[in-house]
Structure 1
Amino acid sequence: MMRRPGPWILFGLLGAAGVVVAIRFFPAAFPIVTLDLAMDREAAVVRADTLARQYGWDPPDARTAATFGQTDPEVQSYVELEAGGRDAFVEFAERGIHQPYVWTVRRFQEGAVEESQVRFTPAGEPYGFRLRLSEDDPGSGNLAEAEARAVADGTAAEWGVDLSFFDLLESSQETQPGGRVDHTFVFERMDATVEDGRFRLRIRVAGERASELAHFVFVPEAFSQRYRDMRSRNDAIAFASQSVFVVLFLLVGGVGGTAFLMRKRLIVWRPALVWGAVTAVLLGLGIVNTLPLSWMGYDPAVSVQTFLAQQLVLAGATAALGAPLLAFIYLAGESLGRRAFPGHLQQWRFWSPQVAASMPALGRTAGAYLLLGTQLGYVVLFYLATSRLEGWWSPAEAVVQPDLLATAQPWLVAVSTSLFAAFWEESAFRAIPIACAALLAARYGRKSLWIWGAVVLQAVVFAAGHANYPQQPAYARVVELTVPALLWGVIYLYYGLVPTILSHFTYNLSLLSIPLFASSAPGILLDRVVVVAAGLAPLLIVVGARLKVGARAKAPEWAYNRAWKPPAAEEPDAEVESGAEAGAESPTPEVSSAARGFLARRKLVYALGVIGVSAWGAGAFSDAGGAPRLTATRSEAIAVAVDTLERRGHAVESWTALAQVASGRGDADQYVFDEAGAEVYESLLGTHLSGLRWIVRFVDFSADPEQRVEELHVHLDAAGEPLRLRHILPEARPGARLEEEDARVAALAAIQARYGMAPESMDEVGAVQTARPERTDWRFTFEDRAVLSEFSGEARLTVLLAGDEIVDVTRFVNVPEEWELARRDGEALRNLLNLSAALVLVLGFAGACVLSVVTWARRGLDTRLFVRAALLAAVALGLGQANSWPATEAIFSPAQPWGLQAGIAAFGGFLGLLVGAGVIGLGAALAHRWLGE
């Protein structure tokens, strides 16, 4: 049919019509935030430096980094879903009430605590700032609340904020270890609201100068909980899809099918490894490419050299681990397809000059480009139609994305992401399941049922796997992507994998490169040229081949799957006879070499065994270092917690009790042990240092989403004695609005009742007010002068009040900032070394697994031993997972359904068990092979 001009003309018209529809209706179909981006990155950095010099912000010789993006994506979700819709969100931005997109410029210096961040609107107007100051900085003097309020008013006027539209909502103060008093004022705008949300302004005064001015939007906690609950349905659909994909497509189809073909010598691995390496290296380069943006997350406590090394190791790990994994997926898809569809062109020889010059190659390539237009038209029409349906929602996005332009090579983001998604998804979702179905049909009959069932199944699984995007209803992406996935499946069925990869690649590339063509930044032309060249490269290869070797009507016969022949079988390894015949000749040099190899492998097995046992022993028998051992059991801890709560008037019979053990080895423990010594450390265990303890959480998974926030926590020491009770309340729960002095009296009374400490023995460090919709919360912090008085760390007490209810009283050690900075630097280096060691370990295991599978394919591995070792390992791992299930369940969040979290945890454990048992079984069989040669 495709040799006739009629279908091609129709196909071409559909593709052209799709492009016209996409261009014409794109702004109407997709929710777009229109930005008047008058400031570019360079201008933002220059303006931030000017403000830093004007106000004397440290550090003077600073590095700079800049990013452009949303201040708080949750605000957009709230407004669009519950507070007026997309038009209201755009209106707030246009009126200047809320700026959803801002420039943020960070000025920092290695080893310095001090840094500054400045925000600008897209038009280039200053929109806020934040200074980070050392807690040891005494400042130039302290102010009373009224004086600090005057500084805040002046700062607002300087930064173009008219406080006449605002009312004061919160006023707090905290005393830093260096003696500086910081005041925080939160104002609420009265002339504009967004349902239950509020537009607010925070101004902080550190000592005598302003250290922060920040615009933000208060989003009701109830919405956040409803949104998480709503999103859990998206996650459930995606989880179900991913489970089917991993078990059926990857493990059964990919691993099982590849093993079957490997025994029959039907695997071609070199091209798959090359393409896997190319894709993985591009992904690794993508990490290096974003280095200019990564400075926004740089910790100044870490040396620049360590930070750069972290980025390079991460990029290297992505390439090193991604290459074999992607190569396996490519290998499985190509090998299964070559076996299942003899009439397809060979995937790895598609662009050989003689094949690329043929009409079939031209048709498959040109068809992919025509399909691109059809896909773009379809997706635009889909969103145009669903945007008018009640209950359908997709968040508005900005077409202009300057952060993409901040990367070293902006084109690399679009090209590498598109190639990765197209190649691996088409191999895994199209080739593996459909080819496996064709092979099963060839064996068991009912060809149409097997193949077309697989075509439909892969489409649904592929579409559902994308359901966790922020869209509603939860099945929106399933409906959207099922149609193109069905189309890709049909194209693969008839024409092979190359046209589906090309179609998928060009489709992704078109969407991901829109910001490059929407921008007018200098130098963007080169990136556009590279993107266009990458998109047209397959067609240019075909055209070039036709010009080089001449156009051909047919592809050569050797280019089809049916012509492929497996390589000649190798001779089996020579077996070493157990006994030597009398009068046998001396071993040949080859035998001696084999013997030496055997001895080397035996030594390696023994060495790895000694290392493994030693590492296990070091971890299993290490002493806790003075901390008391856990004597209370889980059931005893829960019983004590229930009794404690009931005596406090909390009924928790219908709640779920989740108990976990906390190690008590945090920064405070390490600081006291290192600086004050073991004696002081042990004296503070159970008071200011928690030590080894039980934490029993009581949550209600059956409550309405807004009420699931409420939790009760009971901390118990190693012997099961209560240490602390914490009550977490929903922010909308009504309560009292205490004045500061009344709240302080209640806090001091709680400390005296709990710990028997008089107010005279403490110094107040901070009083922080938080305004809730129907109550006022307070947090008071005090320093205990009698503890750690000779050290820079401080023994502190904190009391939390929700209305007039005391919801938490606790003691802790405040770690000095200087010590913490040094710890973070050392920890970053250790993490880097651990990551490097883990990478070597994983690659070693992967190499051993590959070697084991190859040996098995050559019938050199004891299959019975593998099965026995794997089953034994599976039983041991399964018992371990079952035993640790309470600890797994203990970290479940009530924001999501218990069943979803349990399913994800159980499936993750099952995969870990499956992979772990397989690796152990292969390792045991390989070691037996080496030791028994």
Structure 2
Amino acid sequence: MQANGRSIGQSRWRWAAWAGLILFALIQILPSALSSQTGGGTALSRDEAKRQALLIASERFGISADRVDRVLLVHTSNSKAVGYFSKEELLSRYQQEWEPNYPTDVYRADLVLAAGEGTLTLMLQMHSGQLVGWKDESGTHPAAGASQSDKRSFMDKAMAYASFFGVRAADWEPAEQGAPGTAVFHSRKSALGEARVRLEVQVPPGYEPASSAFPRWQGGSVTYAIEIPGDFTAYVEDQTRLSSRLNAIGFIVPHLVLFVMAIVYAGTRRKHTSFRRGIGFASVFFLFYVAFTFNMIPGLRAQVLEEGLPADDPLLTGVIVSTLIVVAVMAAFTYFSAVGGDGLWNSMGRSLWPRWRDRGFGDSVVVSMKQGYKLAFILMGVQSVILLGLQHGIGMFQASDATQSTYNMTYPWLLLLLAWCAGISEEIQSRFFGIALFRSWLVGGAKKVLGREPGKRSAAVLTLIAMLPPGLFWAFGHVSYAVYPAYSRVIELVLMGLLFGWFMLRFGLLAVIFAHITLDSFLMATQMVFDGLPGNLPVGILGIFLPAIVAYVIWWLHRGAAQPRPAG
């Protein structure tokens, strides 16, 4: 097999790929599979959850389906609780003891009623569809709080109200009177570590337990929360602020500078490249990410809700528009990085990206795809070892992020588009252009100091150093994920970035793009399978084979375009 004119030992790379795949299965797949056996099984689809919400509204609240104008469904998650259980290795106990009735993750169904009757919000267990909480979002004022002498009767009244909606009084003990008209109870179940469950009941004005009428839901609520230690909450909040600063200083600012540099070098190296380079990649990135953005509208709504803001349509529209603007800028950055990077590498005497007009372009794509799968398996194994080391070395742990979950996607299978967007944009921006830029500066600087071209060994060292800045910028772009400590992803991705850079120099741009896409496709397919949504398994398997399918389609199209046309 050939790549950029270099012979590759088939056996060595094949064995490395198999080793990487086995490590990935043992370190990441097997623990997830064992954990899923103690979970709730198959999750409700979004359509099933909406139907269940309407059924509960009719049976429990007397709201017929014709009174509901629309149902806004999002998956929400108590990220801090998930992080606490993960850090303290309590996830298995949580799944067995608490998840059926007090889940950290729920479907939140906002039933917007017609004729301005208000909004009823239902919280559903994601696997059983059981009602685990509800509240009135219409803004009705709650009843006034009780005096200290009347506290016991008020707490009894609140529990009687909650019992109408399925709460078992024997499971709870009175704790305190909260906000006006709200009673707080604690679960009698044993704590998990230092975590415990709190029930909050808001009693509507005029409610009397002795009344034979079914109680009104307007102005009331029955919700629960998982209380975790204050020091853990403070730690997560500090880490979140740190990750925001690292993302702004280490990713956003440097990438704005790189964007400007990409435009500059696309112009100054135009004799070594073509402005048609990168149009296809940038277009695929833009179209795929636009489709992904509209598919993630429920996730964007969840993001707004997490910020404590009302997820109304005008605000959500603003978030969508701003997201699309960022996508357009990233597509432009990808385009200029492709042109500028191609010009820089060609001017340095390296050809890392074949052209469509090359006679063997189709064959190069297929070879790069095959290389990409092997490299992806190696990367999966290396990443698994790094993650294992970080878990045992610095205590890395992961929380949840509902804004990126497949439960918040209109069509969960479109998650696979993100693998293509990341593989194209990140490899072209951070590796193809980023490494070329810093290498040209370092080698050019060495040439001025020495008065000659640096030697082969010196050039190799300078190339290695050139991989570090763009790899670091790329890593800082991932610190906003719910992984703690915030710097753990920086360590992981700087090391991964060095491997990606080495692979690009050895096998070419197309090989690392295929490797990145394949790696992300495996990770996303794994997420889809363990999320438990119906139909995700075959789609995930298809996503893993999709890079190969695309490569052979390109090969077939190029072969057809290269066929000589008959005379006449």
Give me the TM-score of the superposition, normalised by structure 1: 0.49
Query: Aligned letter for 2:383?
Result: V
User: Cα–Cα, structure 1 residues 531 and 383, in superposed 2: closer, same or farther, change >3 Å?
Assistant: same
How far apart in 2 are the matches of 1:413 and 1:324? 22
Residue 466 of structure 1 and its aligned partner are, at CA, apart by 3.2
* Aligned match of 2:133: 128
How far apart in 2 are the matches of 1:295 and 1:236? 24
How far apart in 2 are the matches of 1:285 and 1:293? 14
How far apart in 2 are the matches of 1:308 and 1:189? 36
* Aligned match of 2:548: 536
- Whether the aligned pair in 2 keeps the contact of 1:15 and 1:370 (CA below 8 Å) is yes
* Aligned match of 1:186: 184
How far apart in 1 are the matches of 2:230 and 2:511? 48
How far apart in 2 are the matches of 1:284 and 1:107? 28
* Aligned match of 1:573: none
* Aligned match of 1:66: 73
* Aligned match of 2:268: 260
Query: Aligned letter for 2:40?
Result: D
- Residues 486-525 of structure 1 aligned to structure 2 (within 5 Å): 486-518=498-530, 521-522=533-534, 524=536
How far apart in 2 are the matches of 1:394 and 1:289? 29
Which structure has more RCO (C-alpha within 8 Å, separation ≥ 6)?
Answer: 2
- Whether the aligned pair in 2 keeps the contact of 1:354 and 1:545 (CA below 8 Å) is no
- Whether the aligned pair in 1 keeps the contact of 2:43 and 2:533 (CA below 8 Å) is no
Query: Aligned letter for 2:135?
Result: R
User: Cα–Cα, structure 1 residues 409 and 115, in superposed 2: closer, same or farther, change >3 Å?
Assistant: same
Residue 14 of structure 1 and its aligned partner are, at CA, apart by 1.7
* Aligned match of 2:296: 290
* Aligned match of 2:210: none
Select the structure of larger CA radius of gyration: 1
User: Cα–Cα, structure 1 residues 219 and 323, in superposed 2: closer, same or farther, change >3 Å?
Assistant: same
Decide which of 331, 344, 355 is 1:336's aligned counterpart: 344
* Aligned match of 2:212: none
Decide which of 473, 478, 481 is 2:490's aligned counterpart: 478
SS of aligned partner of 1:66:
strand
User: Cα–Cα, structure 1 residues 381 and 402, in superposed 2: closer, same or farther, change >3 Å?
Assistant: closer
- Whether the aligned pair in 2 keeps the contact of 1:281 and 1:319 (CA below 8 Å) is no
User: Cα–Cα, structure 1 residues 62 and 250, in superposed 2: closer, same or farther, change >3 Å?
Assistant: closer
SS of aligned partner of 1:354:
coil
Deviations 1:730-765 (A, max 9, x none): xxxxxxxxxxxxxxxxxxxxxxxxxxxxxxxxxxxx
* Aligned match of 1:278: 284
**Structure 1, 439-448 or 327-336: larger mean CA deviation:** 439-448
Residue 485 of structure 1 and its aligned partner are, at CA, apart by 1.4
Q: Identity over aligned residues, as a percent? A: 16
* Aligned match of 1:748: none
- Whether the aligned pair in 2 keeps the contact of 1:169 and 1:186 (CA below 8 Å) is yes
User: Cα–Cα, structure 1 residues 316 and 396, in superposed 2: closer, same or farther, change >3 Å?
Assistant: closer
Residue 201 of structure 1 and its aligned partner are, at CA, apart by 0.5
Unpaired stretches in structure 2, ≥5 consecutive residues:
145-149, 208-214, 564-568
- Residues 315-394 of structure 1 aligned to structure 2 (within 5 Å): 317=325, 320-346=328-354, 349=355, 351-352=356-357, 354-358=359-363, 360-387=364-391, 389=392, 391-394=394-397
User: Cα–Cα, structure 1 residues 318 and 112, in superposed 2: closer, same or farther, change >3 Å?
Assistant: farther
Query: Aligned letter for 1:107?
Result: L
Residue 386 of structure 1 and its aligned partner are, at CA, apart by 3.9
SS of aligned partner of 1:185:
strand
Deviations 1:684-725 (A, max 9, x none): xxxxxxxxxxxxxxxxxxxxxxxxxxxxxxxxxxxxxxxxxx
- Residues 821-836 of structure 1 aligned to structure 2 (within 5 Å): none
* Aligned match of 2:50: 45
- Whether the aligned pair in 2 keeps the contact of 1:354 and 1:549 (CA below 8 Å) is no
- Whether the aligned pair in 1 keeps the contact of 2:521 and 2:544 (CA below 8 Å) is no
SS of aligned partner of 2:281:
helix
Residue 492 of structure 1 and its aligned partner are, at CA, apart by 2.2
- Residues 748-897 of structure 1 aligned to structure 2 (within 5 Å): none
How far apart in 2 are the matches of 1:335 and 1:193? 62
- Whether the aligned pair in 2 keeps the contact of 1:283 and 1:318 (CA below 8 Å) is no
Residue 542 of structure 1 and its aligned partner are, at CA, apart by 5.9
SS of aligned partner of 1:392:
coil
- Whether the aligned pair in 1 keeps the contact of 2:42 and 2:534 (CA below 8 Å) is no
Query: Aligned letter for 1:131?
Result: D
Query: Aligned letter for 2:133?
Result: G
Deviations 1:143-192 (A, max 9, x none): x8766544422344344433344332222564xxxxxxxx2101123542
Residue 56 of structure 1 and its aligned partner are, at CA, apart by 2.5
SS of aligned partner of 2:74:
strand
Q: Does 1:420 align with 2:417?
A: no
- Whether the aligned pair in 2 keeps the contact of 1:113 and 1:132 (CA below 8 Å) is no
User: Cα–Cα, structure 1 residues 281 and 518, in superposed 2: closer, same or farther, change >3 Å?
Assistant: same
How far apart in 2 are the matches of 1:408 and 1:79? 29
Decide which of 37, 56, 62 is 2:62's aligned counterpart: 56
How far apart in 2 are the matches of 1:352 and 1:516? 38
* Aligned match of 2:566: none
SS of aligned partner of 2:379:
helix
SS of aligned partner of 1:192:
coil
- Whether the aligned pair in 2 keeps the contact of 1:333 and 1:432 (CA below 8 Å) is yes
* Aligned match of 1:928: none
How far apart in 2 are the matches of 1:137 and 1:21? 56
Equivalences, count: 522
Residue 204 of structure 1 and its aligned partner are, at CA, apart by 0.9
How far apart in 1 are the matches of 2:296 and 2:91? 30
How far apart in 2 are the matches of 1:412 and 1:74? 27
Decide which of 9, 12, 20 is 2:11's aligned counterpart: 9
**Structure 1, 232-241 or 120-129: larger mean CA deviation:** 232-241
- Whether the aligned pair in 2 keeps the contact of 1:280 and 1:326 (CA below 8 Å) is no
Q: Does 1:202 align with 2:200?
A: yes
How far apart in 2 are the matches of 1:460 and 1:472? 18
How far apart in 1 are the matches of 2:311 and 2:292? 26
- Whether the aligned pair in 2 keeps the contact of 1:290 and 1:408 (CA below 8 Å) is yes
Deviations 1:22-48 (A, max 9, x none): 234424566985331455134432332
- Whether the aligned pair in 2 keeps the contact of 1:33 and 1:90 (CA below 8 Å) is yes
* Aligned match of 2:147: none
Q: Does 1:219 align with 2:228?
A: yes
- Residues 303-318 of structure 1 aligned to structure 2 (within 5 Å): 313=321, 317=325
How far apart in 2 are the matches of 1:258 and 1:337? 12
Residue 224 of structure 1 and its aligned partner are, at CA, apart by 2.6
Deviations 1:534-559 (A, max 9, x none): 322443146536976999xxxxxxxx
Residue 279 of structure 1 and its aligned partner are, at CA, apart by 1.3
- Whether the aligned pair in 1 keeps the contact of 2:413 and 2:540 (CA below 8 Å) is yes
Residue 533 of structure 1 and its aligned partner are, at CA, apart by 5.5
SS of aligned partner of 2:344:
helix
Decide which of 94, 97, 102 is 2:96's aligned counterpart: 94
- Whether the aligned pair in 2 keeps the contact of 1:16 and 1:373 (CA below 8 Å) is yes
Which protein is richer in helix relative to its size? 2
Unpaired stretches in structure 1, ≥5 consecutive residues:
175-182, 552-933
Query: Aligned letter for 2:265?
Result: G
User: Cα–Cα, structure 1 residues 337 and 410, in superposed 2: closer, same or farther, change >3 Å?
Assistant: farther
User: Cα–Cα, structure 1 residues 38 and 161, in superposed 2: closer, same or farther, change >3 Å?
Assistant: farther
- Residues 670-709 of structure 1 aligned to structure 2 (within 5 Å): none
Superposition RMSD in Å: 4.1
Query: Aligned letter for 1:192?
Result: S
Query: Aligned letter for 2:197?
Result: F
- Whether the aligned pair in 1 keeps the contact of 2:278 and 2:335 (CA below 8 Å) is yes
- Whether the aligned pair in 2 keeps the contact of 1:64 and 1:108 (CA below 8 Å) is yes
How far apart in 1 are the matches of 2:139 and 2:411? 37
Q: Does 1:395 align with 2:398?
A: yes
* Aligned match of 2:112: 108
* Aligned match of 1:466: 478
Residue 12 of structure 1 and its aligned partner are, at CA, apart by 1.5
How far apart in 2 are the matches of 1:222 and 1:401? 25
- Whether the aligned pair in 2 keeps the contact of 1:365 and 1:538 (CA below 8 Å) is no
How far apart in 2 are the matches of 1:373 and 1:11? 10
